[in-house]
Amino acid sequence: MPGYPHDGFLHNNQLWITCVNGTILAYKIKHGIVTPNIAYSKNIFKYTTNIGWCRGILIIENFAIIGITKIYNSTQHYWSDYPSNLTKTGIICWDLDKNKEISFVDLSERQSKIFSVLKGPGKKHSV
């Protein structure tokens, strides 16, 4: 893995994983087994100014909804080369086809923390 993995999500015969350093990966699943074949890999923090502890992913159509959390003091675990004072808490909407951020919901002011992004039961979602 190109970083410490945090969250996983199954979608279209792929296991999508966030790494805390901003890398998003999708491993192909074949016959119910996760393979080492990567269908998607991108460190989104190289393409956005919104960075933080990347933890949480949900795929809706061709969009990844990704949670990030502000780092206040990162002495216990290495997470990335980015200074912690530049980090934020919020939700990134990432266009998987265009490989770019299309929106960001900033939740930093409330000292919120995001651990996962979950789909609600029985509702259609639109991006």
Mind giving me the DSSP string for the chain?
--S-EEEEEEETTEEEEEETTSEEEEEEEETTEEEEEEEEEEEGGGS-S-BSEEEEEEEETTEEEEEEE--S--SSS---SS-GGGB--EEEEEETTTTEEEEEEE-GGGT-------PPTT-----
Model confidence pLDDT, tens digit, residues 7-46: 888 999 999 999 999 999 999 999 999 999 999 999 999 9
pLDDT at 36: 96
pLDDT at 68: 93
CATH fold for the domain made of 5-110: Thrombin, subunit H (2.40.10)
Comparing 38 with 56, the larger pLDDT belongs to 38
Model confidence pLDDT, tens digit, residues 66-119: 999 888 775 555 667 778 888 999 999 999 999 999 999 998 877 677 766 767
pLDDT at 124: 62
